[in-house]
Structure 1
Amino acid sequence: MARDSSLCIILVSISILAWLSPCDGNTPAGNCSESDREALIDFKNGLHDLDNRLSSWQRSNCCQWRGIGCNERTGGVISIDLHGDSGTCGYWLSGEIRPSLVRLKSLRFLDLSSNHFYGIPIPEFLGSLENLQYLNLSKAGFECAIPPNLGNLSNLQYLDLSSDFSGLSTNNLGWISGLGSLKYLALDKVDLSMVGSTWINVLNQIPSLSGLHLSDCRLSGSISSPGLVNFTSLVVLDLKSNRFDSEFPQWLVNASSLVGVDMSYSGLYGRIPLGLGELPRLQILILSGNNNLSGGIPSSIGSLCSLVNFDLSDNNLTGTLPEILQGGSETCDSLSPLPNLRYLRLSNNRLRGYLPSWVGQLKNLEKLTLDHNFLEGPIPPLGTLENLTNLGLGRNRLNGTLPVDLGQLSKLDYLDASYNHLSGILSEDHFANLRKIETLDLSSNSFTLNVSADWMPPFQVWELGMGSCQIGPSFPAWLRHQNRIKHLGFSNASISGPVPSWFWDISSNLSLLNMSLNRLQGQLPNPLPVPRYAEVDLSSNLFQGPLPLPTFEINSLDLSNNQFSGGIPQNLGKYMSILFFLSLSSNRITGGLPEFLENMQCIEVIDLANNNLSGNIPPSIGNCSTLEVLDLQNNSLSGLIPASLGQLQQLRSLHLSNNKLSGDLPSSFKNLSSLETLDIGNNQLNGTIPGWMAEGFIKLRILSLRSNAFSGEIPHELSSLSSLQVLDLAENNLTGNIPSSFGDLKAMVEGRERNEYLFYGKFRGVYYEENFLVTTKSQPQLYTKTLSLVTSIDISGNNLDGEFPEEITKLAGLLILNLSRNGIGGEIPESISSMGQLASLDLSSNRFSHAIPQSMPSLSFLSYLNLSNNNFSGKIPYTQQMTTFNPSSFYGNPQLCGAPLNVTCPANEPDKPGTTEDGGSDDEFIDQWFYLSVGLGYAVGILVPTIVLHIKSSWAEAYFDLIDRIAERWLPIGNRRAKLRRNRRQG
């Protein structure tokens, strides 16, 4: 995309350059003057000419020298054109620029661009070339400050000082005001960070300016209201890649001569002004990458009949597409709207509605990218767009079928319709004339491929994505003839059976291979024939046999959820020096962890969970300095946790649960300042819980020490873990009181308003998705996508005593609280009603006494309650939310009475707020409440979720994630423990 945008701007700029240039730089003429010849010889002597470009500078007539142009009448040197070629090694000049150039009194044209004058400033004496009209020093390596005496060049019409590495700078552009004849100014990548917004006022004093290029200059501040701006002569405006933090400038609509505008990635916000549609000559409008540009796309854009390139991608625009070109065809006096449009890019916005039929009328369209929006409905006919080369419709909500006429787009080289709701049959006609297609991505739809067994595709693709399409059941034979393919995505494609041997000839060229979530079986070849730097995902299949080694070093390998057996090859590390991601989880791997881990200098994720690994964790793993995730849970590892793990300062997620590890928690762990998840439950660890956790684990979200042999008191320092969302200390030998300081756990006080996907070890779309088992409602629940919304405290099954600290009721964002099976006494604080998000509360098997708080029925989200086996007394406050719980929630409290227990309260039982008056039996009371609760339950069941989901988006996301998980249970097409995700965007 960037190449096309730059090309358009360059084409316009070249037209300006041709108009301004006074000569071609090689004008044959008579003899030059001796003084000019001597000045040029001295100039040459200061240069280093490695490519011998100036070999002709020995003849007597300097007008015949390469790069020199002379006046035909006087023979005076009027132009020097010694521009280099930045793309050709050695084809450039270096050295110094000598002041002898000042002796060239007739010099009007000087081009030293694309050379290697690195480390020297622009010579100040250039400001003395009083007749100079053209000066181009761009990309020549000059450094330091721009000499302000260039402002003395009053005849200068063209000035290009653009840099290629930000080596030039200026604190003040006031000197430009002296260039009253200037028509073209380019200062790309010159550091103007100290200039502020004054540049507009300076340039406003040059009414003749027609080309302005200030891209990537670190400009900042507001440009929306600088006063009266007179840019009526401006033809090209390039301000891309700056830091304005400004509303869209309204003055732009008055620059009536504009042909090209590029203000992409410049920190603009607000609405795009309607008046842009009143710039009759506008051909290029690029406003991409201003994330805070919002509102709709002005319908007046349809009046820009000359528009060639229209790019509003990567913004925050809303509205629908049909509004854009309403009435456009009438304005342009054409059968189609925007008859000259070649590039239409609106990807990565929030556009909604249907894809309008007028898109198929843009006859000259070459590139159409509408991906990453919320477009819906069917894809309209596009088969008449015979010039289309790039079509991006991915990651929308489009439905219906893929139009067959797309198969007639013979120039199409890129087609992405992935991640939509498309369905239907894909026949050979859909691909009939796609001879030039190089990228074809139809993944994450519900297509069924129906082609003949001997089908020969007309294309040779580089990238092919058909994940979640029904390609199988047999392995596609037509793939055998795709000799150029580099990326193959056949995940969840309903393919079963063995992989044919011919495929491994193709795989040796595949830098991306994803055939996960199929039913492929058999043994993999060893070595696995994939190229160096490949990314391989063969997870969730039925592969058996030993783990294969790759032929070369690769970047990622996921063989999880298969039936591989045997040990991990001891020499695997030899092939893994550049490995970023390794997942072998959920197989049948045995043996110990090899020492190869120390050779993995780039590794970010190691996931070996759910196997039969045994032995010790090798200390050498502490040498993997880039490691972010180490998941060894659900194995049979034993011995001590190596202290060397404390060296992993990038570690964010550590899962060692369900092993046989013993000993203390290493004190070196206090160095793990990046750690967010520490899961070491269900081991044989002992000792006390160290107080230094609060000092070292400053980012910790999840702490699980469950089912070990930790003893002593719970350190009150844990309350300073401001990010802690899940605290699981259950099933240990902890004693003492619950720290009252737990009421200060910030993440549980506030809760989370928005879901945050916890992805670690991201590498080119490959990542590990955090997961954790949280015990809720007495059942373990695996959380992944909504894990960041979960807040839980579980300290059940210990030897705690004391009382329920009232300070804990400050945890208004807590969802799950389990204090069961301890020796906690006293009463439940009446202030428990302030824990408004509480969904699960288990206080069973303790020594609680007194009455159940009358405020408890107001906990409207409470869906699980267990108060059994305590010493509660009095009448149960059976109103509101309490009516949803069955008698088992209250069993084992001999002094409790009233509904839902079948225990009649004594006549002298005092009335409590919210209970019924005497004068009827408990049975009558239950009958009345039964009918009322049925009605209320129905209303609450319908209205409360609706209201809550409308008001609180985070709960809506959790709710819909629950629906997704229910769907997965009945439609098991996904990998519930997916570790390798790909989110690859083609642009």
Structure 2
Amino acid sequence: MHYFSLNFLLLVFIQAFLANCCIEHERDALLAFKAGVNDTSSRLASWSGENCCNWAGIRCNNQTGHVVKLNLRNTNYYYADRIYHSLIGKISPSLIFLSDLKYLDLSFNNFTGSKFPEFIGAFRNLKYLNLSHTGLSGTIPPQLGNLSRLMYLDLSNYVEYEYLLNQYSIVFMLNTDTWWLPNLRNLKHMEMSGVDFKDSNVWVETLNKLSSLEVLVLYNNNLTHIPQSIPFVNFTSLKVLHLSEQNFNTTIPIWVGSLHSLNVLTLEECNLVGPYPTTLGNLTSLNKLALNYNSLVGMVPPLHSLTKLTDLSLYGNNIEGDIRELLLGKLSNYTLGNLEYLDLSSTNLSGTLTGWITDMTSITHLALYYNNLSGTIPIDIGNLTNLVYLDLGWNSFTCLLSEAHLTSLLNLKVLYLDENNITILVDSDWTPSFQLNTIWLSSCKLGPKFPSWLRRQVEIQDLGLTDMGIDGSIPNWLWSLSSLSYLDLSTNLLRGKLPASLVHMTKLVSINLNNNRLEGKIPFLPTSLKFLYLSNNSLSGQLRKNRKSPYKNKPIVLNNNTVETVELFPCGLTSLYYLDLSSNSLSGQLLPCWSNISGVVNLANNRLSGVVPSSLSCSVTLSVLQLANNILTGEFPFDLQFCSGLQLLDLGENNFQGTIPDWVGESFQQLQILRLRSNLFSGNIPTKLTQLNNLLFLDLSNNYLSGPLPRGLNNFTSMSQLFSLTISYYDTIVIVITKGLILEYDSQDFKFLKSMDLSNNNLTGEIPKEIVALAGLFNLNLSHNQLIGNIPLEIGNMTSLESLDFHKNNLSGTIPQSMSNLYSLAVLNFSYNNLSGSIPNGHQLQTLNDPSIYSGNPYLCGPPLETSCDISVRLPQSDGFLLVFFILLFKVKWRYTYFQMVDSMLERVYVMGVIIRRQNNWVVAHYNCLWPNSSPNHRCTLQLIKIQTVS
């Protein structure tokens, strides 16, 4: 007995010792891992000393002392800045010595550029593996199939940035075949978003072998195939199925209706088509059904049996029916009363809110945005006391909204009523019973006074009062709302001055005051600002840096009496993404601080002068630069070549001079819009410009460019395509001169903006035949140049043309008959050339019956001109003329003397008689030609003055 006690005490002592002291080679392995990473925020500061079991993120087995858990998940990450608190570097293979590891989590750290570590497959005891959002690349090794005890697997590498940054999701692809997955027979939870499945056609059949699987999350996997049926559904344990951002292009599969254990079904943005399957009604365990952003059509099938449903989201499909039929006809009263989350936005639903909305006693989130709903908002909407989120924007409601509608909504946080015909009628002294963080009332009737009741909404973050007829100044209390992040007061009648400083608004991300009547100086701005819209006001000031920058010494109090200049450019605004100060009265020179802006700069329509700084530091993520209609000088800004991410560059209406550099065609491979019109550029159009394959819009008009048009115009492949492209600019406007009109195109219409304007230059030579390959152009203008030769015969291939202008050149030959293929042509001008022959007719050309289209071409005939094409020219017969011709042909000196005499005579003589024959009559006409010394072009007209019979 005594012997047993001693052994027991010894065992306890050994276990206690092991529990407080890790194994040496495992400690060395962890230190090797630490040495291979950059610990940006000292998260591994405790990794020192002998006992690794006490280190942060480490847990050891109490009996053996082996490390069984390594959890270094970065819990302080931001999606927009993944470096924050991340471990940066590589995953050391030394970790293979942690042979008893059961739990490994390195998620949300930064191992970008590293290959997926194959040695992970050696951890045979591993039950939990999370390497998500780590930037790993390459192929997922099949050795992971050795982890037969694994229950949780997350290899997602799909990080979605804030949508307002106008940056698309960043995906680090991990290519994989799926054949090894069935070996993970104990797997219950699998997330592999962002992993490229190599367009596998058997992924469903493979995963169907995992009978224990309960959670499956797959986002953006390049999947294009999903079978409509499978012989036997084996993964019936599934409780959560998330499939999103795939490209199936098929109907919802039948076998989905066999997953009777499903609590959550999310099939968002999968390009699903066709009707909603009736089998959805079989999923009686569903709590959440989300089919957003697909192309499903028709009314939803009966879902009466889904009595556990609390979350229904069908956003972006085309139900196209009455909302009452959907909610009262397809759901049970029990389900309607239990719904907590309902999103039917953008589903083309019609009807009213009456007769059903008060039955939704549990609703917290109600979104009916962008439909055809009409009528009034019932006053008993106030009975929905659980309501937190209400979005009725972009419908056709016509009603009054009073305090009685809103008083009982104690929990309301988000209210969207924008783009309706709603009059908000509340007392100016009203104190709401709720505290909103988002309110959007754009286009509702609320003015003319600024709504003072908003003063008591101290938690407001997003405030949108666009186009509401608000007149007067912005109240000072608005600038004291410290929680404000997004402010939009655009398109009102706001007057007065802005505060001298807004640096105290440390949460302000976006401010939009476009299209008002504000004046004075632009304030000092907070460093948190990403979006600044102040266009179309009367703001003034110079673009020179204030020596007393508010960003160096905070806090700072400024007033209008102490501010003489304004630091407009973002030398201190490190977060700025969008800057729009266009259409004001700003003057001065530009500052070289552009490297801080990663998106859009618009300073067009001001009075900026001087040269673009040679020290310009351009961010590669700058996508839009608009400096049009200023007084800027100098040559094409050299440092712009480092702005390789530019998609839109507009330097038009300035005084830039010199040549267009070759590197424009090499550096701007993303460029889609290039506008240099109305400057002083000279020299040739560089041939390398045709390397801009993405170019949709080119305007070099009103310059002094010379030489021939470059060959290789067919390399503008985006101009050749007939289909419309998606362009990612945000709130940008481009001025286009076409069809004789000055038009404004905003970013939503840029996909139709395929145009080439080279007019009003000194271009010479022929029109290259390759130009007819640009079948997507809607506007082509080569007028006011010195082009010669024929119009390309296949110009009719440019079937998208709506406007074609070749006037005031020296083009000759006939007008190609293929012109009759231009069915969209609305504006045409071939005047003042040397074209001859009959004018083509047929189709759209017959509607262009203005004779001025063809004036100044004396040898053209046929409608719409009065000159008939049956007139033939009769020349005098003279052997003497032939003699003179041959003498001039062989006597060079005589030929020079003769033509000098003719040129001299033509400068003094402007009228020459011509006799032509029309049927049996002779027509005496005046053929008038003018060659002014000041112009390289001539103008000829044919006038009939007399008809007489000749026997």
Please say whether Structure 1 and Structure 2 have the same fold, judged by a TM-score greater than 0.5. yes
* 2:191 match: 215
Alignment counterpart, residue 637 of structure 1, candidates 608, 614, 617: 608
Unaligned runs of 5+ in 2: 24-42, 75-90, 110-116, 158-172, 554-562, 875-917, 922-951
* 1:533 match: 507
Shift of 1:770: 3.0
Equivalent pair of 1:43/1:100 in contact (CA under 8 Å): yes
Deviations 1:883-902 (A, max 9, x none): 22211212223333332223
* 1:781 match: 743
Deviations 1:884-935 (A, max 9, x none): 221121222333333222334454489xxxxxxx9999xxxxxxxxxxxxxx
Deviations 1:834-859 (A, max 9, x none): 22222212222222333333332332
2:297 is paired with a residue whose SS is coil
Equivalent pair of 1:796/1:818 in contact (CA under 8 Å): yes
1:800 is paired with a residue whose SS is strand
Alignment counterpart, residue 386 of structure 1, candidates 361, 368, 373: 361
Shift of 1:436: 0.7
Q: Closer, same or farther in 2 for the Cα pair 1:428/1:819, shift >3 Å? A: same
Alignment counterpart, residue 408 of structure 1, candidates 362, 373, 383: 383
Q: Closer, same or farther in 2 for the Cα pair 1:903/1:305, shift >3 Å? A: same
Shift of 1:410: 0.7
Shift of 1:252: 10
Separation in structure 2 between the aligned mates of residue 577 and residue 290 of structure 1, nearest angstrom: 46
Residue 655 in 1 paired to residue 626 in 2?
yes
Equivalent pair of 1:573/1:599 in contact (CA under 8 Å): no
Q: Closer, same or farther in 2 for the Cα pair 1:846/1:745, shift >3 Å? A: same
Alignment counterpart, residue 646 of structure 2, candidates 675, 685, 710: 675
Alignment counterpart, residue 185 of structure 1, candidates 124, 148, 151: 151
Aligned letter for 1:273?
Answer: P
Deviations 1:641-680 (A, max 9, x none): 3333474443333333333333332444443322333332
Q: Closer, same or farther in 2 for the Cα pair 1:820/1:235, shift >3 Å? A: closer
Moved more, 95-104 or 565-574: 95-104
Deviations 1:843-878 (A, max 9, x none): 222223333333323322111111222233333334
1:276 is paired with a residue whose SS is helix
Shift of 1:409: 0.9
* 1:741 match: 712
2:381 is paired with a residue whose SS is helix
Q: Closer, same or farther in 2 for the Cα pair 1:41/1:466, shift >3 Å? A: same
Alignment counterpart, residue 842 of structure 2, candidates 862, 865, 879: 879
Aligned letter for 1:870?
Answer: N
User: How is 1:144-293 mapped onto 2 (pairs within 5 angstroms)?
Assistant: 145=119, 150=124, 159-160=127-128, 171-172=142-143, 175=146, 185-189=151-155, 196-203=177-184, 212-216=188-192, 218=195, 220=197, 221-224=200-203, 226=205, 234=212, 236-240=214-218, 243=221, 245=223, 247-248=225-226, 254-255=233-234, 258=237, 260-265=239-244, 267=246, 269=248, 270-280=250-260, 282-289=261-268, 291-293=270-272
User: How is 1:444-523 mapped onto 2 (pairs within 5 angstroms)?
Assistant: 444-505=419-480, 507-523=481-497
Alignment counterpart, residue 857 of structure 2, candidates 893, 902, 909: 893
Separation in structure 1 between the aligned mates of residue 445 and residue 570 of structure 2, nearest angstrom: 39
1:639 is paired with a residue whose SS is strand
Identity of aligned residues (%): 31
Equivalent pair of 1:297/1:318 in contact (CA under 8 Å): yes
Shift of 1:470: 1.5
Separation in structure 2 between the aligned mates of residue 364 and residue 794 of structure 1, nearest angstrom: 61
Equivalent pair of 1:573/1:600 in contact (CA under 8 Å): no
* 1:822 match: 785
1:838 is paired with a residue whose SS is coil
Residue 339 in 1 paired to residue 301 in 2?
no
Separation in structure 2 between the aligned mates of residue 163 and residue 794 of structure 1, nearest angstrom: 53
Shift of 1:318: 0.5
Equivalent pair of 1:758/1:788 in contact (CA under 8 Å): no
1:718 is paired with a residue whose SS is helix
2:845 is paired with a residue whose SS is helix
Q: Closer, same or farther in 2 for the Cα pair 1:735/1:259, shift >3 Å? A: closer
Aligned letter for 2:726?
Answer: E
TM-score (norm 1): 0.70
* 2:576 match: 603
Q: Closer, same or farther in 2 for the Cα pair 1:255/1:369, shift >3 Å? A: farther
RCO higher in structure (CA 8 A, sep ≥6)? 1
Q: Closer, same or farther in 2 for the Cα pair 1:229/1:172, shift >3 Å? A: same
2:799 is paired with a residue whose SS is coil
Residue 357 in 1 paired to residue 327 in 2?
yes
Aligned letter for 1:751?
Answer: Q
Residue 302 in 1 paired to residue 300 in 2?
no
Separation in structure 2 between the aligned mates of residue 481 and residue 815 of structure 1, nearest angstrom: 53
Equivalent pair of 1:274/1:299 in contact (CA under 8 Å): no
Equivalent pair of 2:417/2:442 in contact (CA under 8 Å): yes
Residue 797 in 1 paired to residue 760 in 2?
yes
Deviations 1:253-279 (A, max 9, x none): 734853612334485845433343344
Alignment counterpart, residue 318 of structure 1, candidates 268, 293, 296: 296
* 2:948 match: none
Q: Closer, same or farther in 2 for the Cα pair 1:637/1:904, shift >3 Å? A: same
Q: Closer, same or farther in 2 for the Cα pair 1:411/1:628, shift >3 Å? A: closer
Deviations 1:672-721 (A, max 9, x none): 32233333233333333333332233233233332333333333332232
Equivalent pair of 1:755/1:786 in contact (CA under 8 Å): no
Q: Closer, same or farther in 2 for the Cα pair 1:197/1:472, shift >3 Å? A: same
CA RMSD of aligned residues (A): 4.4
Q: Closer, same or farther in 2 for the Cα pair 1:115/1:903, shift >3 Å? A: closer
Residue 806 in 1 paired to residue 782 in 2?
no
Shift of 1:368: 1.8
User: How is 1:538-577 mapped onto 2 (pairs within 5 angstroms)?
Assistant: 538-550=513-525, 554-567=529-542, 570-571=545-546, 574=549
TM-score (norm 2): 0.72
Q: Closer, same or farther in 2 for the Cα pair 1:893/1:364, shift >3 Å? A: same
2:359 is paired with a residue whose SS is coil
Deviations 1:718-738 (A, max 9, x none): 223222222222223333333
Q: Closer, same or farther in 2 for the Cα pair 1:253/1:557, shift >3 Å? A: farther
Aligned letter for 2:151?
Answer: L
